[in-house]
Chain A
Amino acid sequence: MNVLELDDVRLDLPSKHGDRTLLRGVSLSLAPGEALGLVGESGSGKSMTLRTVLRTEPAGARVTGRVLLDGRDVRTLGAADLRRVRADAIAMISQNPRAALNPVLRVARFLVEGLCDARGESREAATRRARDLLAQVGIADVDRCMASYPHQLSGGMLQRVVIAAAVASAPRLLLADEPTTALDVTTQSEVMAILDGQRREHGMAMLFVTHDLELASAVCDRIAVLYAGEIVEIATPAQLHAAPRHPYTRLLLDSRPNIAARVPALPVIPGRPIAAYEVEGGCAFAARCPWAAPRCEREEPALVHDAGRTTRCLRAGELADELAGAPADDAAGVSGAPAETGRDGETEARA
């Protein structure tokens, strides 16, 4: 059975100007021990997808569809069951470790009390386990770390502490929301390696939200690309890089900076990323898609599973060869069109 299964999850947030749709039917599944990357621009619904799993969506949000954790629908759990699921089955690692730790508690108290409170372990056992865990996440001076307050530790150290706390309960599912975004690049790779190692060691499935396509490719078994609150493509990193099936994925890949080649201006995806509630019939990406055909504006593409690939594009079949392989500057003329750099520069910097 899959650890996690999202089945047509929609999220609407009522506001003064009517309902705002944030997720337009997200479906995905995670096998035990599998790592799935969720990639997309800001506002595409990556974090919101995680929040529906944890039941921490914004107040007043209406969520439909099913979120199955080991076959049980998380959305219908009672308060006590939800607490148990959060304590035992799911762990969350957030973007900013500094915000995730209580500023007035020493690391030792944070870890030990977490273990005692959530899992009913004895103090001695919990202390021993906390020390083990800190050693496992690569903290050299366990004593000093245990005795420190959060403000005395660096961001990298803190994220290790958070990872230690997350794997402490040996959860089935690890939710990581850009766990390395707040860290500097060298620390980033260290922390990511530790997270990945711990995940494999404990056989946890991971849902990994990130802007960083490279990072997702490095640690994930499959990558799901989100656009405007829906999944447009799911593929293995190899497939994704060699032959993306969705134009948006192609353009995302092209807009990454490349160390090897110096370019006068980075290619950007023309237009601005639209929010889920702005989609009105047709393909959500049609307005920015260089390959858009007239029918893309009218027909809403469905998520098609075909030969191990999952894509949401009406022209996926026709475009397969064109999208594969070649970098876009000779494929579709999306190289840094000077007129469109301006504000859109954000798009590729964040994606």
Chain B
Amino acid sequence: MTAQALERPAVRRRGGDLADRLGPLGLAAVAVVALITLAALCAPLITSHDPAIGSVIERYQGPSAEHLLGTDQSGRDLLARLLYGARTSLLGAAVVVLLAGAGGALLALVAAWFGRTVDALVGRVLDLLFAFPNLLLAILAVAVFGTGLGQVTVALAIAYVPYTARVLRSVALRERRLGYVQAAELQGLSGLVVSVRHILPNIAPQILTGAAINFGYAMIDLAALSFLGLGVQPPTADWGLMVSQGKDSLLQGHAQQSVFAGVCIVVAVAAFSVIGERLGGRKAGGRA
């Protein structure tokens, strides 16, 4: 009994050496994400073109000193549209991940704290949500609330809750049974205080890992919805919308718009996925 108590690896490796965990590929992914974010934030400094205004005379131009990446069917500067488009694409995905993470953590903590009936109830509700494909849920929301980035973002966030909640629930349940949580309970702390003060910090790494992985998926889903014309509405710049609008030009032999926007989506999603998997890779069951 004594020996067991002493030898149990009570100190879990947390945080550790972040760079070490990410590895060279992970670090490169972080650099890519940082670059995209920086470009989105500094868009007005990088280009002087307005992403929404173009001159039809200048349509379908190739790369030039004036338009580094050329122009689209309305003569708008593609670089400007990609830069400003990054804002909508990143922001939308960030909001989805944030809401889904918060909702998932909340459900997980509630399920873990009360256990039994509440846990079972939460589990069934999640199963119900799982039954709906993400995009279908978002399309349903659009049908009810109309098109727009806000609507699809919230709808997508709800669709993502089961993924985060399911992983976090199992982690929270494990923590719930540990001595420190019981000790805190025996100090007379309420369930709310124990959950927020003690359990939440201990499941934070899994919340972050899940968020990083989901970020990529959320970007793809949002782009798909924009492509379908349900999300971001023109003339706002958005990568998914750009792929969609570029598909007519594609037939006329002007591939650059769809290709550039598509490449941006692929690179960003890949970078987020790599970060997420590197962060979660060494945790048992840490996949979202």
Contacts and interface: CB of A to CB of B under 8 A. Distances in A.
B183 A103 contact: no
Interface string B1-37: 1100110101110100000000000000000000000
Interface residues of A, number: 37
> Which secondary structure dominates chain A's binding surface?
helix
Contact of A181 (B5, B179, B202): B5
A151 interface: yes
A17 to B, nearest CB: 23
A160 to B, nearest CB: 15
A350 B193 contact: no
Residue in B6, B185, B186 with the greatest tally of chain A CB atoms within 10 Å = B186
B207 to A, nearest CB: 13
Contacts of B193: 117
A100 B183 CA distance: 6
Interface stretch (A83-91, A255-263, A277-285): A83-91
A101 B180 contact: yes
Contact of A100 (B14, B179, B197): B179
A114 B198 CA distance: 11
Nearest to A152: B11
B189 interface: yes
Nearest to B183: A100
Interface in A1-43: 42
B186 A102 contact: no
Nearest to A86: B188
B1 A83 contact: no
A118 B1 contact: no
Given A96-B5, A181-B2, A113 B180 contact: no
Contacts of A181: 1-2, 5
B188 A118 contact: yes
A150 B11 contact: yes
A117 B6 contact: no
Contact of A118 (B2, B10, B179, B189): B189
A95 B186 contact: no
A39 B186 CA distance: 23
Contact of B190 (A83, A91, A151): A83
Given A99-B179, A105-B198, A155-B6, A87 B187 contact: yes
B5 A95 contact: yes
B133 interface: no
Given A95-B5, A105-B198, A181-B1, A114 B187 contact: yes
Nearest to A54: B186
Given A98-B10, A102-B201, A103-B12, A84 B182 contact: no
Interface of A: 42, 54, 56, 59, 83-88, 90-92, 94-96, 98-105, 113-114, 117-118, 150-151, 155, 162, 165, 169, 181-182, 350
Interface of B: 1-2, 5-6, 8, 10-12, 14, 116, 178-180, 182-190, 193, 197-198, 201-202
Given A91-B187, A98-B8, A350-B1, 18 more contacts: A90-B186, A92-B186, A95-B5, A98-B10, A99-B178, A99-B180, A100-B180, A101-B180, A102-B201, A103-B14, A103-B202, A104-B14, A104-B201, A113-B197, A118-B187, A150-B10, A162-B183, A182-B6
